[in-house]
Amino acid sequence: MRIGIPAETRPGETRVAATPETVKKLAAKHQVVVQSGAGLQASIPDDAYAAAGAQIGSAQEAYGCAIVLKVRAPDAGERALMASGTVLIGMLNPFDADNIAAMATAGLSAFALEAVPRITRAQSMDVLSSQANIAGYKAVLVAANTYQRFMPMLMTAAGTVKAARVLIMGVGVAGLQAIATAKRLGAVIEASDVRPPVKEQVESLGAKFLDVPFLTDEEKEIAKGSGGYARAMPADWMRRQAELVHERAKLADIIITTALIPGRAAPVLISEETVKAMKPGSVIVDLAVEQGGNCPLSELGKTVLKHGVYIVGEPNLATLVAADASALYARNVLDFLKLIIDKDDQLLIDREDEIIKASLVCADSAILRK
């Protein structure tokens, strides 16, 4: 079979869907076509792909393959390069109905990897986790860069410098990595989440958990989430959380927010009033900015100074760690491919398979998921 890896064209997208490591494995059994320059922004030259067994070609040649591996959803021009029946695998935005409809019209069999269920068998294909882990790490480094003080406590001949106080809102994959990274830099950390099991994870990393008690059975039930993800909490709980966060934010030097609710706008956790109450020179990094932001003052793609607080709204921080983000993503994709290629190296899409069912967003010109 022919497997194509085009260059990503979306502004700011630096990652690539295959690396020499994964190409080598694929090229043992298939013809692999990598678009010239596809890996450059992730520090992978064409030569490295060629040495791993790929043919270096044009965009037309890469998109002309039976299976196309992408990072982001194709735009109209890219869709037009794919023949009806092409199998497309990537982070294709399963909640974007227009995009899915366009891919269905193009006759693509499209797999949105973000929709892979979080079951044990699918862990090695979990792109949300592999990329969120990197984003959480980079969020702390971006915050440290913007912050005008030290992160660790320092005792010097010129006096003592206090450790930075970091507040992490939303402790999923990104939040846990943010705690671990801030800890390594010597910060003092507090964290908040709706899901009760997170408390133990936060404490095991040496951070303090901000407890917002559940006052009703309904609150307790919703906080359990579904499928490992959070659900939107009732307004009363959110109000109590906001009050607590407001008090803790006054003391914080850096806030990193990562809270998401799948398929919905991100919950507002740091209000303008809270930003106003923060210390001058504090930093907020809003990882949820693409989903509307956990802070209403964050602006997509910008770092803004509001009420004396730097608010970083850079989307997709994993793209700033392009080489490792690509390496992990490419392994996720390779593991996913094993699901749809049979032992005779032919395409076999088992529509009854739980992972395929959840991630196949369109096929045979029909939309399978809205």
Nearest-CB residue for ligand NAD: 172
- CB 276, min distance to ligand NAD, A: 20
Binding to ligand NAD (CB under 6 A) within 204-243 occurs at 228-230, 233
**Residue 118 near ligand NAD by CB under 6 A:** yes
**Residue 284 near ligand NAD by CB under 6 A:** no
**Closer to ligand NAD by Cβ: residue 85 or 262:** 262
The residue range among 45-53, 140-148, 169-177, 301-309 that interacts with ligand NAD, by the rule CB under 6 A, is: 169-177
Q: Which whole-number Å values give the CA distances from 295 to 119, 280, 286, in the listed order?
A: 31, 17, 7
Q: Is 298 part of the annotated catalytic residue set? A: no
**Residue 169 near ligand NAD by CB under 6 A:** yes
Residue 100: which H helix or E strand, with range? helix 97-105
- CB 63, min distance to ligand NAD, A: 30
What token pair was written down for 36? 């010239």
What is the three-state SS of 317-348?
HHHHHHHHHHHHHHHHHHHHHHHHECCCCCEC
Quick check: helix, strand or coil at residue 284?
strand
Beta bridge partners of 72: 91
**Residue 195 near ligand NAD by CB under 6 A:** yes
Quick check: helix, strand or coil at residue 203?
helix
- CB 288, min distance to ligand NAD, A: 8
Quick check: helix, strand or coil at residue 209?
strand
- Please pick, from the candidates 173, 189, 284, 355, the single residue that binds ligand NAD as defined by CB under 6 A: 173
Q: What track of x and - describes contact with ligand NAD for positions 251 through 270 (by CB under 6 A)?
A: -------xxxxx----x-x-
Q: What is the secondary structure of 15-54 as a DSSP string?
A: --S--HHHHHHHHTTSEEEEETTTTGGGT--HHHHHHTTP
- CB 297, min distance to ligand NAD, A: 17
Q: Which of 10, 149, 229, 231 is catalytic?
A: 229
Let me know: does 143 contact 287? Beta carbons within 8 Å.
no
**Residue 193 near ligand NAD by CB under 6 A:** yes
Residue 71: which H helix or E strand, with range? strand 67-72
Q: Which of 43, 58, 60, 123 is catalytic?
A: 123
Contacts with ligand NAD by CB under 6 A lie at 118, 123, 126, 128-129, 132, 169-175, 192-195, 228-230, 233, 258-262, 267, 269
Q: Which residues are catalytic?
A: 118, 123, 126, 129, 229
